[in-house]
Structure 1
Amino acid sequence: MAAAKVHDLTNGSGRQRAYTEIRARILRLEFSPGAELEEGALCTLLGLSRTPIREALIRLASEGLVVLQRGRGARVAPLDISNLRTFFEALDLLQRAVSRLAALRRTGEDLAAIEPHIQAFEESGKRVESLDMAESNYRFHMAIAVAAHSEYLERSYSRVMTEGLRVARVCFSEENDREAPPLSAHVDRTTSEHHALYNALLQQDADEAERLAAEHTILFRNRVAQTLIPIDGLLSHLRV
């Protein structure tokens, strides 16, 4: 097979494509936790020069999906089940905070930006596309974070949500339903909670928004417990 042609795309298009494709492969677990990300191999795989690849890896490192090692290149960030307790502690606190502030500060433009992501999640749930569900769920909650109009809080929440994307992708996978309730029931419950949270923002009910955000974290945590934890093979894979 002929080697892929390498394009010297150092503009925004090349950087964005490198970022998008590497990120998607990490979230799909095609690049497994702890796997080495060798620049030359990525250049060949994606048909790009080293500059956009390197910039994409730096951006992904800032989001917590990649670990840069001085003199040793880059690796996919580990995904350690033992850290889930502290992950959910942070998610609970941040999700309640951004939802409360969003209820108090949201504008009409903010609501218009949030609403389409509810439908996007529903549509991806009908197709049982686990990565699409994880991504649309992420975009829904990050649109709420933007509506909170708190730059530092949004940045912290984005980091936690990004780190949870790989976990969410697995939990939205139908192949892991052997031990858990049907995925369709989880998707329906998630969609219902998205609608309820949006309505709380619409009504500017900060107490209700915070309460729903806490319940939403519990729903995700329970799905993790029902899907990830009982699967020994998957656990060993994620502890790389």
Structure 2
Amino acid sequence: MAKKPAVSKPAPERGAEHVYRMLRQAILCMELRPGSDLDELEISSRYAVSRTPVREALIRLTAEGLVQAVRGRGSRVAAMNLFDLRDFFESLDLLQRAQTTLAALRRSDEELREIEAAERDFETAAAGRDVDALTEMNFRFHLAISQAAHSRHLHHGYERALIEGMRVGHVSFIEHDGTHSRLQEHLDRTIADHREMVSFIRDQDTEGAERVATRHVELFRNRIVTTVLSPDATRRVQILN
């Protein structure tokens, strides 16, 4: 009688990385709602791993601001308050202007190529209208710019702001008010901004880079106001904690 093949178990590092990626995606796409509890036993059972990689994944997500540790209760998905976004957009505006400007000043040729590749990936996602891919590729594009800025402390703050923006941005794509033309207009303007950022960074035009970075945050802010913050959208999404 033939022996059954052994079931391969992921190495601890590999298992933690897998759990991290799956939980992160579930949080960003709102499958796991803000404020919901994260049970380590349930997660370890779902992904067929021990509790150690689950804890490692939760620690990473906590560091990114997507998970909150609750004393005596374990962990839960970080809350979102869509009616308290002023601080978020103020921070995003300052950080995005700084990092885009510094990237234009300090980027290397290799980093420029990475930024250009990330911009192309976003356009591909936009053509496919894949919401998950859109938010992820937008994050990677701006993160590539931030890495080219070579400012460690600013990069840390900007990355946190971008991750928080991914959750809000995901909702804005879902709640695009059902009008195809308006969604396409937003995507077209986003792509135009991205292309200009790449151009100014390529030419090392710091003033132009800062100008388009400011305009890009305003575009995002306006979209949130017209989609996510509308009363009907808030009732449908039900993500306030």
TM class by smaller structure: over 0.9
Percent of matched pairs sharing the same residue: 42
**8 Å CA contact 2:227, 2:233 repeated in 1:** no
Residue 21 (str. 1) matches residue 22 (str. 2): yes
> Which whole-Å CA distance do the structure 1 matches of 2:217 and 2:180 have between them?
17
Partner residue, 2:75: 74
**What secondary structure, in the 3-state scheme, does the structure 1 residue paired with 2:75 have?**
strand
Q: Bigger CA drift: 117-126 or 216-225?
A: 117-126
Residues 181, 219 of structure 1: alpha-carbon distance in 2 compared, 3 angstrom cutoff:
farther
Per the TM alignment, residue 178 of structure 1 is displaced from its structure 2 partner at its CA by 3.8
Task: Indicate how the Cα distance of structure 1 residues 137 and 165 shifts in structure 2: closer, same or farther if over 3 A, else same.
Answer: same
Tell me the amino acid that sits aligned with residue 133 of structure 1. L
Which residues of structure 2 form unaligned runs of 5+?
Answer: 1-6
> TM-score scaled by structure 2?
0.92
User: CA–CA distance in 2 between the matches of 1:172 and 1:118?
Assistant: 18
Structure 1 75/180 Cα, relative in aligned 2: closer, same or farther at 3 Å? farther
Structure 1 segments unaligned to the other structure (5+ residues): 1-5
Q: How far 1:17 moved relative to its partner?
A: 0.2
Work out the CA distance in 1 between the residues paired with 2:138 and 2:181. Answer: 19
Paired residues in the alignment total 234
Tell me: CA distance 1:67–1:181, structure 2 relative to 1, closer, same or farther (3 Å).
Answer: farther
RMSD: 1.8
Q: Is the 8 A contact 1:130 1:170 kept in 2?
A: no
1:190 paired with 2:172, answer no
1:176 equivalent in structure 2: 176
Please give the alpha-carbon distance, in whole angstroms, between the structure 2 residues aligned to 1:7 and 1:40.
20
75-84 or 9-18: which moved more? 9-18
Give, in angstroms, the shift of residue 7 of structure 1.
7.7
Q: In structure 2, what is the Cα distance between the partners aligned to 1:130 and 1:150?
A: 30
Distance between the aligned counterparts of 1:36 and 1:8, measured in 2? 26
The DSSP-based 3-state class of the residue aligned with 1:81 is coil
- CA distance 1:148–1:233, shift in 2 (3 Å): closer
TM score, norm. by length of structure 1: 0.92
Amino acid at match of 2:190: T
- Check conservation: 1:171, 1:223, Cα contact below 8 A: yes
Cα distance 1:88–1:180, how it changes in 2: closer, same or farther (>3 A)? Answer: farther
> CA separation of 1:7/1:111 partners in 2, compared to 1, >3 Å: closer, same or farther?
same
Instruction: Give the distance between the partners of 2:233 and 2:115, measured in 1 at CA.
Output: 37
**Secondary structure class of the residue paired with 2:238:** helix
Paired AA for residue 185 in structure 2: A
- Choose 1 or 2 for highest CA Rg: 2
> Kindly tell me: are residues 233 and 144 of structure 1, through their superposed partners in 2, closer, same or farther at Cα, counting changes over 3 Å?
closer
Contact 1:179 1:230 in 2 (8 A): no
Q: Deviations over 1:174-205 (max 9, x none)?
A: x5324896211111110111000000000000
Conserved 8 A contact 2:83-2:229: no
Report the residue type matching 1:136 in the other structure. M
